[in-house]
Structure 1
Amino acid sequence: MNARLAEQATADAVATDRELLQRAQASRVYDVAHETALDDAPLLSARLGARVLLKREDQQPVFSFKLRGAYNRMVQLDAAQRACGVVAASAGNHAQGVALAAAKLGIRAVIVMPVTAPQVKIDAVRRLGGDFVEVMLAGDSYSDAQEAAARVQAERGSVFVHPFDDLDVIAGQATVGLELLRQCPNNLHAVFVPVGGGGLLSGIAACIKAQRPGVKVIGVQATDSDAMARSLESGERALLNEVGLFADGTAVKQVGALTFALCQRHVDAMLRVDTDAICAAIRDVYQETRCVPEPSGALALAGLKQYAAAHGDIDGALVAVVSGANMNFDRLRFVAERAEVGEQREAVFAVTIPEERGSFRRFCAALGQHSITEFNYRIGDATRAHLFVGIQTTGRNEREALATAFRAQAFDVLDLTDDELAKLHLRHMIGGRSPLANDERIYRFEFPERPGALTRFLGHMHPDWNISLFHYRNQGADYGRILVGIQVPADEQPAFRQFLDTLGYPHCDESENPAYRLLLRE
């Protein structure tokens, strides 16, 4: 009996795979979508030592691949189903696909999105759908929105357009795989695909394995939204209690039953990447294309880089699917902040030095030729000074060498590069009022932002006056801006003003600034 059941399961799987390939080949996605470019990434290729290609789904009319599956499902509806309208749940990109398809086909649609969906996606859904679409906001994740959509479907008798667990939706997404096989006919090593519910991954994997089984298909998920990875590891669909919201397009608590079964048969491996790695990949895509992907859109490239770093010589091209570019502009500040760490180009340390004359100079000497990206300090102890410092590096080995150099100067060192609390919050909380900041004067300085500029500035600071506050962060501008607190007794003010004149940096006295006096003065 068990043997017969196994044989039947195998036959059913083969039939599903065959039907999926046939539906993908017959798909009508090109009524609204177009074949996107498979672009070489020469900068990444040179850096990683392997040919890297980017499948540019961010170039679709809705800036995401999701249009393919949504339209392919809705164009199959008969007249009676179209009259009932459709309902969909989405974190944003599927919603845009449904909205455009609804307007194109003249079908009424209710689209439920989580309240955490980026505003750029909510606005795009309303714009694309026009009078055919009603947008509802419910819950914090896709799964919450799906529950609300199910209630709407029950009330109105609408057709539910699933974002991933539907054969026609998967077939629409699978056309991405068919395209890249046509575009890259020779020497293809692996394709990396972002994963939420699994529609894109399962569709691409099934089509690639049907036509070129030797090509690896690797799924990539955020570490805090890894439902597919956990499911494949355990052999059954996992249900996450919570999902991360940075890569909102793939924030799914549970993958689909159909997508899970397809991925079990056809996916070679799963990779997990953290937020810093995603931010670094966003920057990489920008540097190659001058386009900015959303976090989920950069997932595949983050995984590709992880794979390339772990696998030496690679025979054949590596393809990353850039799945979408619906980026909230407000997130760019965070991305820029974290990309350096994600690429291991910035190390972050807490360094404790003696609160005495010459300590800053010894600290600068330990830096060598490295550029400082951030420097935060506030006097708080009569004997020790605690510095929060970011330093430009080229990798982990250099980070360890810096820590060794600081310890050689008898400085205590705490490596904060992987410390989420420090990177998110504590870097902005260093300071406050200090009873030790007697005779403090506050100045803003500006200087041309060149490599080593901050180190040279510190080297010019006169040793006769104690630095009680220091704040600097490299923001990528032409000029660096520093806030410095210097303890200067009243009878030394003339000498200090003369020192400022000879320092050669534009400066502004902020000692009477009301915000400074309210927040930092005793």
Structure 2
Amino acid sequence: MSTFSENARKAETAMREVFPATPLQRNDHLSARYGADIWLKREDLTPVRSYKIRGAFNAMRKVLAKRPDQELFVCASAGNHAQGVAFNCRHFGKRGVIFMPVTTPQQKIDKTRIFGGDAVEIRLIGDYFDVTLAEAQAYSADVGAHFLSPFDDEDVIEGQATVAVEMLRDLPKAPDMVVLPVGGGGVSSGVLSYLQAESPETETRFVEPAGGANLTAAIEAGQPISLNAVDTFVDGAAVARIGEATFAVLKSVPPAHILVAPEDRICTTILEMLNVEGIVLEPAGALTVDVLPTLADQIKGKTVVCITSGGNFDFERLPEVKERAQRYSGVKKYFILRMPQRPGALKDFLNMLGPDDDIARFEYLKKSARNFGSVLIGIETSDAKNFEALTTKLVEAGFTYRDITNDETLAEFVI
């Protein structure tokens, strides 16, 4: 019987009929910053702009090798797996029904339609992926289709492992560390399995979004469990429950090797990679780069590979990403200011602003008293330290204010 590594190499050879190997690129910017030899495995450059094309191809290839007459395939996806399945349905000449959450970015829905053409039907169901998944599985059972899991399938895991096959082949030497994103666990379990067999000296680190830390929860519980709530911002990795098959591989990962990335901090990484490197990454695709500051002491002088897992970024989300990044970095704040209702009060406030302070929002909320009015004000500046000077001036001038930048409840309604 063939080993996992042998099967992964066969899968990698087979998928060359569909798309070329993705680039493994040394990143000078990140390497200089961290004093390390940092490489990016550019899965954002596959035909569907994510690694998901690999698992979908391998699973469909193996099903059709056993059952050439299988005509219908079904999947559930937040976007990237959907595109991979759509692409491969057209490649193999088979029909697909693709279930996607209603909250899926429009860019991913449109690209799925483009890749699948007449071969696929898209159904938008559920606000969260796990609802979508249940609907897709029920439909698949009802019509006798083959369900293509986005991650919890041995053939999918094997297909995602081809990332590691290419990586080890292309590097001059085995990397000291590989940083892997975690959503459902497909690529992380596949790459880990291959590295354990072919490069056991290579260390691994795993990154999941703070709003979907299902591996952390599963490790603590000793088994996959469903999170009570999931933040869907990192849609490519916003999974409430890690897969059974993937957890079987990942359950031995030391908790200290699992890092959690805050969604707002990921926004700063997306903008940096776009502005400095011209690399477009979706939130899930930026996970591994985002944790490099946390790993700085561990990677100095070492060869490190970060898997940039996807680049399906809807640029309509850019204002939100910029907003969240500015708030995380401390260069944008929102205040509710109690403004005296007297001539010159507004001018007094404006004179307190520094040369790099800019008003991004100004709105009277209500008149809370005869002599005072409440104002919602948003201020952008060049350096977070500038706010110290501003708030000091406000206090000295007798202005009452409340910083609501990080008040999630208030921010949701008034910002």
Please indicate the TM-score interval, normalised by the length of the shorter structure.
Answer: 0.7 to 0.9
Deviation at 1:199, TM superposition (A): 0.2
Bigger radius of gyration: 1
Q: Match of 1:29? A: 15
Matched, 1:376 2:376: no
Distance 1:389 1:154, change over 3 A: closer
Deviation at 1:165, TM superposition (A): 1.3
| Offset from partner CA, 1:224-260 (integer Å, 9 cap, x none) | 2221221122221111233222222222221111111
Aligned pairs (5 A) from 1:95-494: 95-186=82-173, 188-266=175-253, 269-308=257-296, 311=297, 314-352=300-338, 354=340, 363=349, 366-372=352-358, 374-378=360-364, 380=367, 382-383=371-372, 386=375, 388-394=377-383, 399-400=387-388, 403-404=391-392, 406-427=394-415
Deviation at 1:403, TM superposition (A): 3.9
Q: Match of 1:64? A: 50
Over the matched positions of the two proteins, sequence identity in percent amounts to 36
SS at match of 1:370: coil
Distance 1:306 1:402, change over 3 A: farther
SS at match of 1:83: coil
Distance 1:23 1:97, change over 3 A: same
Distance 1:158 1:335, change over 3 A: same
SS at match of 2:260: strand
1: CA distance, partners of 2:46 / 2:19: 6
Deviation at 1:350, TM superposition (A): 4.1
Q: Match of 1:88? A: 75
Amino acid at match of 2:262: D
Deviation at 1:182, TM superposition (A): 3.6
1: CA distance, partners of 2:274 / 2:228: 33
TM-score by length of 1: 0.70
Distance 1:315 1:349, change over 3 A: farther
SS at match of 2:205: strand
Amino acid at match of 1:66: K
Amino acid at match of 1:233: E
1: CA distance, partners of 2:299 / 2:52: 34
Deviation at 1:48, TM superposition (A): 5.2
Distance 1:107 1:375, change over 3 A: closer
2: CA distance, partners of 1:406 / 1:36: 54
2: CA distance, partners of 1:257 / 1:84: 26
Which of 39, 59, 84 is the aligned partner of 1:73?
59
Distance 1:41 1:132, change over 3 A: same
Structure 2 unpaired stretches of 5+: none
| Offset from partner CA, 1:37-63 (integer Å, 9 cap, x none) | 233444445555655443221111011
TM-score by length of 2: 0.86
Cα contact 2:179–2:305 (8 A) shared by 1: yes
Amino acid at match of 1:154: A
2: CA distance, partners of 1:353 / 1:45: 49
2: CA distance, partners of 1:87 / 1:128: 15
Cα contact 2:24–2:39 (8 A) shared by 1: yes
SS at match of 1:388: strand
Distance 1:42 1:104, change over 3 A: same
Backbone CA RMSD of aligned residues: 3.0
1: CA distance, partners of 2:127 / 2:228: 12
Amino acid at match of 2:215: M
1: CA distance, partners of 2:174 / 2:5: 22
Aligned pairs (5 A) from 1:496-507: none
SS at match of 1:77: helix
1: CA distance, partners of 2:67 / 2:129: 24
| Offset from partner CA, 1:10-67 (integer Å, 9 cap, x none) | xxxxx9xx93322212212322232222334444455556554432211110111100
- Of structures 1 and 2, the one scoring higher in RCO (CA 8 A, sep 6+) is 2
Cα contact 2:334–2:376 (8 A) shared by 1: no
Distance 1:361 1:205, change over 3 A: farther
